Structure 1
């Protein structure tokens, strides 16, 4: 008789509710874990209105920053367009791919790394000193609003890091770098008052005075080259491409039992939750969504499987949804 891989579903010889599995002619007796989790698995759905192209095909004349259109035009005309540190097209992060339409043709926008540059940039870090009314001795401070525009933005970003030090609050990493604000634009550096050797030592922002600390540090920055590829000539073609790229599951309402339709309906209104062991309807729905790893209720110990708030895409009849699966405490 062939050997059977061990799983977290316990192999038992007798007793309890038994599940008999026949593998290669050998009868094996299996049962679920008897332990009941104190947590629940939550399914939440959010509707995406309209066709996918309305979300993932951009109008480059309306995007900010303006280099998106410059990168597109240069690459489409056969020129090489590169950027340093940032990608040549506005990054969409978890929002998915980026496409553009020009004269009836749809293009996929992307980039690849072609090199690296070592540079030095000034960094503004702020350290909270106190409230203005308590700091009459701090004479050399300026209001945030009196600074050049580039410095105002730098203070707004750097104060996020200053405010979070020693606290449990989050920081918008990506804006905040190395615990402060990095000046990368040459014009912003030239216009800055805070970076000047004779600049103010303190700045007041939102009723708090911060000490100004300037450092110049080394960065190794990637050089990106823009890619533009024609992929479709019609709305139907781009929709087919987007479905193939994005969708994790496709479910037909007509083929679902009433219990599973009710689970999805409840998840659309907020979230649907169950503790392990799950109901047969919830298990069946998880299988149809392709999330077999959740069935044993202990996905966090499964190698290579994410158990956080990863977003997935669902086509439910002719409607698109994003959905998440996450563990919550009862």
Structure 2
């Protein structure tokens, strides 16, 4: 199995533990709190279709509208920029996104090329214990569509101020909702000087407070690169980009095949030291960290619910490796 270049995740994670691992040596196998070895659990899930089905986006259906606009403009040689949101945002740091047009495949990306300081209206809501006499209270259902969304999001922050629980940061900003779109600002009733001072949502009355605040926003430029002229070439590129392992059934022993089959049905686990067959599977998956004597350090670097991708003959699988204590297996 050829080695792959270290990813940013590998570098960041290993950097924090490298010094400790070097000082600790490689003689201690992992032990749980009660002294028993944890189980290393392998789980496989078949992925239907090709990698193109997963990574080549249909911008007309699955992406925000500005992605299709960005693609069309950039393909025509026009510079397309956005603020606050990223063109062609991907599923994850290491998962590229591609698009296809007239038989040609393009990799979608973006770069920060500037910063703008802009002013946006911001809606914050505050709980009201007693409904104010004589004040106009509007119901959530009577609001414009953009104000309905703003109230729903700002309400998360208002509700969390006096209670435990999470807030969907990213939707909630600066303890409220930011109106960024010119269309949203124009169609909002709450932002108008004569807008309501109180709003009712789910039997709770909130005070409406509007401020106008400065935001420093990155300017993103949409970039596209031609990468393939055929389906097969695109599939080859994606295999090189996303696959962690490739295994041929013919190269496996009968016991190794049985382990993979069981991992496909539900999961397969063993305690360290692993059997010859399980060790063989881990080697073929190129997961050598789990075979090191110091699993507590080296194996734990790789452990978790992070998905990896395997080509098993001509079938794609996602798989995870994780440690579970004896009590939970």
Same fold (TM over 0.5): yes
Greater relative CO (CA pairs within 8 A, separation 6+): 2
Q: Is the 8 A contact 2:110 2:223 kept in 1?
A: yes
Q: Are 1:104 and 2:100 counterparts?
A: no
Match of 1:69 in 2: 68
Report the Cα offset of residue 301 of structure 1.
4.2
Q: Is the 8 A contact 2:200 2:206 kept in 1?
A: yes
Q: Name the CA shift for 1:242/1:171 in 2 (closer, same or farther; >3 Å).
A: farther
Match of 1:52 in 2: 51
Give me the TM-score of the superposition, normalised by structure 2: 0.77
Report the Cα offset of residue 78 of structure 1.
1.7
Once residues 284 and 91 of structure 2 are traced to their aligned partners in structure 1, the CA distance between those partners, rounded to angstroms, is 29
Match of 1:41 in 2: 40
Once residues 328 and 34 of structure 1 are traced to their aligned partners in structure 2, the CA distance between those partners, rounded to angstroms, is 11
Report the Cα offset of residue 154 of structure 1.
1.5
Out of 19, 26, 31, the position equivalent to 1:9 is: 26
Q: Is the 8 A contact 2:31 2:296 kept in 1?
A: no
Q: Are 1:124 and 2:120 counterparts?
A: no
Per-residue deviation, residues 232-265 of structure 1 (Å, max 9, x unmatched): 1111000000100010111222322333333333
Once residues 160 and 262 of structure 2 are traced to their aligned partners in structure 1, the CA distance between those partners, rounded to angstroms, is 37
More strand as a share of residues: 1
Q: Is the 8 A contact 2:70 2:222 kept in 1?
A: yes
Out of 225, 228, 231, the position equivalent to 1:229 is: 225
More helix as a share of residues: 2
Report the Cα offset of residue 82 of structure 1.
1.3
Q: Name the CA shift for 1:173/1:251 in 2 (closer, same or farther; >3 Å).
A: farther
Out of 281, 285, 290, the position equivalent to 2:277 is: 281
Question: What SS does structure 1 have at the residue aligned with 2:88?
Answer: coil
Question: What SS does structure 2 have at the residue aligned with 1:286?
Answer: helix
Match of 1:249 in 2: 245
Out of 129, 149, 154, the position equivalent to 1:153 is: 149
Q: Which moved more, 1:42-51 or 1:141-150?
A: 42-51
Which ranges of structure 1 fall in alignment gaps of 5 or more residues? 11-30
Out of 300, 309, 312, the position equivalent to 1:313 is: 309
Q: Is the 8 A contact 2:26 2:293 kept in 1?
A: no
Q: Is the 8 A contact 2:106 2:225 kept in 1?
A: yes
Which ranges of structure 2 fall in alignment gaps of 5 or more residues? 1-21
What is the total number of aligned residue pairs between the two structures? 302
Q: Name the CA shift for 1:176/1:94 in 2 (closer, same or farther; >3 Å).
A: farther
Report the Cα offset of residue 302 of structure 1.
4.8
Once residues 272 and 158 of structure 2 are traced to their aligned partners in structure 1, the CA distance between those partners, rounded to angstroms, is 43
Q: Is the 8 A contact 1:37 1:276 kept in 2?
A: no
Once residues 302 and 156 of structure 1 are traced to their aligned partners in structure 2, the CA distance between those partners, rounded to angstroms, is 45
Q: CA RMSD in A?
A: 3.2
Q: Is the 8 A contact 2:98 2:106 kept in 1?
A: yes
